[in-house]
Amino acid sequence: MSTHDMHLAAVTAMADNAVRTAQVARRLLADHVDLPELLDVRLQPTETQARVDLQPRISDVRLWAERLGIELRFKNRPDSFDDRCGQEHADGTTEIAGVTVTLGAMRFIEREEWAAIQAEQPTAVSA
Q: Say which residues have a Cβ less than 8 Å from residue 57's Cβ, sequence separation at least 6.
A: 36, 39, 105
Return phi, psi of residue 60, to 5°.
-110, -5
- DSSP category for residue 41: E
Q: Give the three-class secondary structure for 4.
A: helix
Q: What is the pTM of this model?
A: 0.84
Tens digits of pLDDT across the chain (127 residues) = 899 999 999 999 999 999 999 999 999 999 999 999 999 999 999 999 999 999 999 999 999 999 999 999 999 988 888 888 899 999 999 999 999 999 999 999 888 988 888 888 776 554 4
